[in-house]
Amino acid sequence: MKFGTKLIHNGNEVDPYTGALSIPIYQASTFHQPNIENIGKYDYARSGNPTREALESTIAQLENGVRGFAFSSGMAAISSVLSLFSAGDHIVICEDVYGGTFRIATKVFNRFGIEFTFVDASEISEIESAIKSNTKGLYLETPSNPLLKITDLREAIKIAKRNDVIVIVDNSFLSPYFQKPLDLGADIVVHSATKFIAGHSDVIGGLAVVKSEELARDLYTIQNSFGAVLGPQDCWLTLRGLKTLKVRMDVYEQTAQKLANWLLTNECVEEVYYPGLKEHPGHDIHFEQASGGGAVLSFTLKTIDQTIRFLQKVENVAVAVSLGGVETIVSYPVKMSHAAIPKDVRERLGVKDTLVRVSVGLEDVEDLIESFQKALR
């Protein structure tokens, strides 16, 4: 079954009790038990809910994993996955990482005795050099946020497996349509479902999919213990958004490619970051492990004044935090997604005050380019 068909027909499209072509929103906190000697599948909604189960089953199938988990936010998913580790463990993590992940690693989990080493994961040698005797995890984003750096997943996973290290990949930028890290050997994949999975800027949610039954048992214990689960209405909205993932991502990619090519020709633009450009570092590696360039690109302008003026003048887009909606979302990483990272660290990583990140939407690309052109004059 091809991916587009699997989005619609995966065993979670029909309510088994009524035949409704949409799994109902089971807005219930608890469930009646007719036989107290044999508690049923559902007892308390933190532990399990039919609507959430449908979403978790769907994302597990789309990522080719053993089991999926739905959380109250992308950061709840990431935090729950990091809770698999213990005091004294060491995790190697890509330095060009989402600011919320940087914050949780350096402000919370380090207090629990978990050590993090940040590396340029696009340089495989840096990953290998950072491995220590107590290294238990390798956390990657590829493409990374916000500079779209590419990590060679196959080579990184080889290093991890030689050292008995769990590999976690944040797949939010590409979704399972363009990239399947578990198929490449990763152990856990995480998503901010807020982004392309739900796809309409109306849900906050997170997802995780694991490759083994052992990890499934461990992560379920954490999910059930913390209780940071996605509510049934948001699960239903996410299921609905998922059905159009393929058609949205196809249009996004076409638009992103055209916009990136146009930005290369604009005299105000200094650099453009997009995996679909042949000039992009890691372009060939990216297309060996992914089937598309995705919908997110970044670019730098020549001055801060130009950057602020562009953000204030650009029309027919949302200037906002987040990405992955049907509308084009223009973000300013130093004030938004990466504000939690200290300025000196941001500058060292190349996250400049002149950097703009764009998540393209479903607008006609000609209108989008015209809007950008006017704002850059």
Active site residues: 46, 98, 170, 195
Q: How far apart are CA 192 and CA 174, in angstroms?
A: 11
Peptide bond between residue 50 and the one before it cis (omega within 30 degrees of 0): no
DSSP lists the bridge partners of residue 359 as 296, 329
Peptide bond between residue 176 and the one before it cis (omega within 30 degrees of 0): no
Q: Which residue type sits at 338? A: H
HSE (side-chain half, CA atoms, 13 Å) at 75: 13
Sorted by sequence, the CB contacts under 8 Å of residue 355 that are 6+ apart come out as: 146, 147, 298, 299, 300, 307, 332, 333, 334
Using an 8 Å Cβ cutoff, are 332 and 299 in contact? Answer: no
Q: Structure tokens of 137?
A: 């995890």
Sorted by sequence, the CB contacts under 8 Å of residue 303 that are 6+ apart come out as: 354
Three-state SS for 279? coil
Q: How far apart are CA 241 and CA 325, in angstroms?
A: 10
Q: How far apart are CA 353 and CA 308, in angstroms?
A: 9
DSSP lists the bridge partners of residue 330 as 319, 358
Question: Where would I find the H helices in the chain?
Answer: 3-8, 50-62, 74-82, 99-107, 124-130, 153-162, 175-178, 213-226, 232-242, 245-265, 283-289, 304-313, 343-349, 365-376
Q: Structure tokens of 61?
A: 């199938």
Q: How far apart are CA 86 and CA 137, in angstroms?
A: 11
